[in-house]
Amino acid sequence: MFETIASTSIYRNLNLNKNLTHSYLFYSSDQELNNILALFFAKTLLCDTNSGTDQCNSCKQFDARTHPDLTILKQDSIKVDDISKIINKLSTLPISADKKVFIILNAETINEIAQNKLLKSLEEPNSKNIFILTTTKTDKLLKTILSRLNKIYIPHLSPNDKKILASELKKQDINIEKLIDSDFSLTESINIIMDSNYQKTIDEIFKLFKDINTTADIPSVVNSLSINDKNNFYICFQDIILSCIKDDYKKYDRNSIEIINSKFPKKALLKSLPLIEDAYKKQMSNVNFYYILDNLLFNILKEKFLCK
Ligand SMILES: [Zn+2]
């Protein structure tokens, strides 16, 4: 599993080793992804060869969560006492690695008093102590804390990356729940996207772009769609748009990408990305699919005309 993560472009592109500091914040809207990447990074920091993939003693201890220099904090609510326990460990020397790693997953759960306590430790950097925090809600962290952290934005996992991860997971029969010891739902999203519905969803999105020219087309186009996989519809949608913007024909049918590009200026496509993100959020909160899609198409067409 971790070997696979290390091989994904998403991890390599983070360029973490270029700017080693003593505290990090991994953030994006995908909690599971933030957490796996943060854990993998921690594993490489403690690993004998800094690869995280060599099965060294340190890596084995990491996987078993018995590494003496590793502390993982993950709770629904993190209070001063929890932070104090970490602070007590800061002054001791590492036991088997050359540094100690403290991971706080979903750091938005640290209450304000505890954040202030943590801030003091972040203000006194020590190369033997590395902090790694993750969050989906940077606005829940104090500005003073944020300013102390090396912020690492995690881009979305593309459907292709998910496919790679999913096939690897199947091979290794890995229970992710156990791996991270948390309420992990990446497996679920992978299963959904691995489904044969995935290709159908992609075909439907291309069809939609071929059929739509003006806002008057929206009702008939939307009615003609038969989307089985509504939750992943917007993720695919966004991924296709990204491929159009980047002229990347690897994943999708070249003709279809070119059709979209001939109809929509790149600027309009770029502006539609946050609109799709917004639609995805609405879908997650169970707003009616056809209503969201109607709105989204209307707004995308509006961008198209504004860009002319
Ligand atoms: Zn290792």
103 and 154 belong to one structural domain: yes
In a domain, 138, yes or no: yes
The residue-averaged pLDDT of 132-149 equals: 93
**Cα of 26 to ligand 1 centre, how many Å?**
22
In a domain, 164, yes or no: no
**Cα of 260 to ligand 1 centre, how many Å?**
46
Cα separation of the two ends of the chain:
46
In a domain, 280, yes or no: yes
Q: Residue 101 belongs to what domain range?
A: 2-158
152 and 211 belong to one structural domain: no
- Name the range with the highest mean pLDDT among 30-34, 42-46, 285-289: 42-46
Which tens digit of pLDDT belongs to each residue from 80-117?
A: 999 999 999 999 999 999 999 999 999 999 999 999 99
| Mean of pLDDT over the chain | 83
7 and 139 belong to one structural domain: yes
**Cα of 123 to ligand 1 centre, how many Å?**
30
Indicate the SS3 state at residue 48.
coil
26 and 145 belong to one structural domain: yes
The pTM for the full model equals 0.57
E strands, 37-177, in order: 70-73, 100-104, 129-135, 150-153
17 and 122 belong to one structural domain: yes
**Cα of 47 to ligand 1 centre, how many Å?**
4
**Cα of 60 to ligand 1 centre, how many Å?**
7
Question: Among 158, 184, 212, where does a domain finish?
Answer: 158
In a domain, 170, yes or no: no
Whether 172 has a pLDDT exceeding 70, the answer reads no
**Cα of 35 to ligand 1 centre, how many Å?**
19
**Cα of 227 to ligand 1 centre, how many Å?**
44
105 and 224 belong to one structural domain: no
124 and 229 belong to one structural domain: no
Q: How confident is the model at residue 165 (pLDDT cuts 50, 70, 90)?
A: low
Describe the crossing of helices 289-306 and 266-284 by its angle, rounded to 10 degrees: 160
Q: Decide: residue 119, CB within 10 A, 0-12 exposed, 13-18 middle, 19+ buried.
A: middle
154 and 268 belong to one structural domain: no
84 and 153 belong to one structural domain: yes
CA distances from 33 to 10, 139, 194, 307 (A): 10, 19, 17, 34
In a domain, 182, yes or no: no
Which residues, other chains included, contact 161 with Cβ-Cβ below 8 Å and sequence gap of 6+? 8, 9, 10
Which tens digit of pLDDT belongs to each residue from 202-223?
A: 889 999 999 999 999 999 998 8
Q: Are 296 and 306 in contact (CB under 8 A)?
A: no
Q: How many domains does the chain have?
A: 2
154 and 13 belong to one structural domain: yes
In angstroms, rounded to a whole number, what is the distance separating the alpha carbons of residues 152 and 170?
A: 29
Q: Are 105 and 74 in contact (CB under 8 A)?
A: yes
In angstroms, rounded to a whole number, what is the distance separating the alpha carbons of residues 232 and 284?
A: 10
Q: What is the CATH number of the domain that holds 119?
A: 3.40.50.300
**Cα of 160 to ligand 1 centre, how many Å?**
27
Instruction: Give the CA diameter of the chain.
Output: 69
**Cα of 66 to ligand 1 centre, how many Å?**
14
7 and 154 belong to one structural domain: yes
In this predicted structure, which of 10-14, 34-38, 162-166 has the lowest mean pLDDT?
162-166
207 and 288 belong to one structural domain: yes
**Cα of 62 to ligand 1 centre, how many Å?**
9
In angstroms, rounded to a whole number, what is the distance separating the alpha carbons of residues 43 and 67?
A: 10
In angstroms, rounded to a whole number, what is the distance separating the alpha carbons of residues 199 and 46?
A: 40
Task: Kindly state the tokens that stand for 229.
Answer: 């996989």
In a domain, 255, yes or no: yes
**Cα of 48 to ligand 1 centre, how many Å?**
5
**Cα of 141 to ligand 1 centre, how many Å?**
32
pLDDT at 169: 57
**Cα of 246 to ligand 1 centre, how many Å?**
36
The residue-averaged pLDDT of 62-75 equals: 91
**Cα of 228 to ligand 1 centre, how many Å?**
42
The residue-averaged pLDDT of 152-171 equals: 68
Q: φ and ψ at 71, to 5 degrees? A: -125, 125
**Cα of 57 to ligand 1 centre, how many Å?**
7
The residue-averaged pLDDT of 244-261 equals: 86
Among 109, 145, 184, 124, residue whose Cα is nearest residue 24? 145
- Name the range with the highest mean pLDDT among 49-63, 127-141, 216-230, 245-259: 127-141
**Cα of 18 to ligand 1 centre, how many Å?**
19
Q: φ and ψ at 159, to 5 degrees? A: -55, -35
**Cα of 100 to ligand 1 centre, how many Å?**
15
What order of strands is seen across the sheet that includes strand 129-135? 70-73, 100-104, 129-135, 23-27, 150-153
In angstroms, rounded to a whole number, what is the distance separating the alpha carbons of residues 47 and 50?
A: 5
Question: What's the sign of the alpha-carbon dihedral 252, 237, 176, 107?
Answer: positive
In a domain, 176, yes or no: no
In a domain, 190, yes or no: no
**Cα of 9 to ligand 1 centre, how many Å?**
20
In angstroms, rounded to a whole number, what is the distance separating the alpha carbons of residues 223 and 42?
A: 48
Q: How confident is the model at residue 227 (pLDDT cuts 50, 70, 90)?
A: confident
